Structure 1
């Protein structure tokens, strides 16, 4: 197996992917792209033998240097509210120029022929996927669902205020970051995933009403579900300290949940990781047990 490089290796998904990868691949076959190779987050891995390259998606030459001698690049998509198109294009073009064989890209789930546009995400995902397919590189597109770890961001502190979101009965098949990292590692270490697109939905969908019911059962408290207007939702989030641009961003995801954009349970995630993904109820139980401890 040739060298594997993970971008965004200090982030939530990248760091989990790196940890799991090192359980399957010798450290000297792993490299990372980070802004600060001497950071505490990466120091332990360097001591184990991982190559740490200083680089940035905007710095094309740094990408060329990092990709030299690399077979596979795990491209963790750039953050929203940045120039994602330029960053993703630079990584793909540099990978091609440096002789990388395969790029794995983390996109966001969307339904076929969907009209929903997630602000700061959908159009740049489409651009990255199209660029990859046209690059001549082998590629794998891993379409991620909303994370179980970030569901609370859509409604805030449910234990205090309940689940208050705009009305809708759609469901979201969210998945945990650990399970998604395990899928990344499966694609990075196995053959047969070239030029494929996977929909990495969780194994069970839940509406916001389902989430309120589950939280009530687990916490043994009454956590109400309350539908509010989009204006009330935005005003409430702003009142709790979020900037307007962020509330608009979150509202796009809530609309996606309510219209069933993330409801598909494809089975791809389970097949890749070889087990049932964590469900939303299991996740909430785990989180609540940590709070009690």
Structure 2
């Protein structure tokens, strides 16, 4: 049985949906904190059980009979959350092994590094180190940077016409739906062991490029305005953004300047058998939904 954790979240649910296209429903199980939110999956034949990374006994029940377990990484709000996140991932790894799974898959990131200025990348690197030391076969999915994050960064600019942000670098923005399809392919066909190549979109785009794409789609100019780091920090604080979130966002810009998210790789296209969604396509869909 293939177990997917976090199946009430955006990526985990999308993976479960993609698996339903590839394997019989009775061969899929999901581990979720709130089973009532996964009733639609249960009605389609998927085994739904409560599993909480902070509750090993619940995970052991959720992972019962597992052949493979996909650990969808926990979110962190800042550096202070890293130790807890790593403990949660370690618990999930240990429990998968105890349940008899022959392989663990983990949703990592293309910028994974213990020295990254962006806290989630430290979180991923530490988990990958533990996967290496676990003694269980594993695949670490080096996912491209989620395009949805870019949509959050530019949300205000679509109204104001000004994309104000500090200096940045190109990012290989990647759609959740494509990454979910790739994960399902890897799970169902048992492809790719160890660290995967970067699973990215087909081009890396900076904020200037995003502003140009948005301008073209909207038919009006979105101006890219570069401001000093401290000015941007001040703008976020004035908007009531918590300090941990301010540091996280600044860390993302700093990492992008270093080129941490710029590498484009054809691996994702090969896995899903078609070109990944472009950022332009992702943004068009988002704007269309907003205009509704």
TM-score (normalizing by structure 2): 0.92
Instruction: Provide Cα deviations, 1:130-160, integer angstroms capped at 9, x if missing partner.
Output: 1111212111111122211121333441123
Q: Tell me the SS of whatever aligns to 2:261.
A: coil
Match of 2:24 among 26, 29, 32: 26
1:69 corresponds to: 65
2:88 corresponds to: 87
Q: Is the 8 A contact 2:117 2:252 kept in 1?
A: no
1:42 corresponds to: 38
Measure the CA separation in 1 of the matches of 2:185 and 2:174. Answer: 16
Measure the CA separation in 1 of the matches of 2:195 and 2:252. Answer: 25
Pair 1:105–1:241, CA change in 2 (3 A): same
Instruction: Provide Cα deviations, 1:59-107, integer angstroms capped at 9, x if missing partner.
Output: 1122222222110101000111341111000011111122100111011
Q: Is the 8 A contact 2:114 2:126 kept in 1?
A: no
1:179 corresponds to: 178
Instruction: Provide Cα deviations, 1:191-214, integer angstroms capped at 9, x if missing partner.
Output: 332334231111111011011111
Instruction: Provide Cα deviations, 1:103-137, integer angstroms capped at 9, x if missing partner.
Output: 110111127x8843312x12221221111112121
Match of 2:55 among 50, 56, 59: 59
Q: Tell me the SS of whatever aligns to 1:199.
A: coil
Q: Is the 8 A contact 2:167 2:253 kept in 1?
A: no
2:4 corresponds to: 6
Measure the CA separation in 1 of the matches of 2:26 and 2:114. Answer: 43
Q: Is the 8 A contact 2:137 2:193 kept in 1?
A: yes
CA-atom RMSD, angstroms? 1.7
Measure the CA separation in 2 of the matches of 1:192 and 1:222. Answer: 44
1:247 corresponds to: 246
Measure the CA separation in 1 of the matches of 2:57 and 2:64. Answer: 11
Pair 1:177–1:289, CA change in 2 (3 A): same
Instruction: Provide Cα deviations, 1:40-71, integer angstroms capped at 9, x if missing partner.
Output: x3011111221111121111122222222110
1:139 corresponds to: 138
Residue 232 of structure 1: how far off its partner (Å): 1.5
Measure the CA separation in 1 of the matches of 2:290 and 2:151. Answer: 15
2:263 corresponds to: 264
2:13 corresponds to: 15
Q: Tell me the SS of whatever aligns to 2:39.
A: helix
Q: Tell me the SS of whatever aligns to 2:290.
A: helix
1:163 corresponds to: 163
Q: How does 1:207-286 map to 2 (within 5 A)?
A: 207-286=206-285
Q: Tell me the SS of whatever aligns to 1:86.
A: helix
1:117 corresponds to: 117
Instruction: Provide Cα deviations, 1:146-201, integer angstroms capped at 9, x if missing partner.
Output: 21112133344112332111124x20011000001001101110133233423111
Residue 10 of structure 1: how far off its partner (Å): 0.3
Measure the CA separation in 2 of the matches of 1:257 and 1:158. Answer: 20
Residue 285 of structure 1: how far off its partner (Å): 2.0
Measure the CA separation in 1 of the matches of 2:19 and 2:158. Answer: 36
Q: Is the 8 A contact 2:151 2:283 kept in 1?
A: no
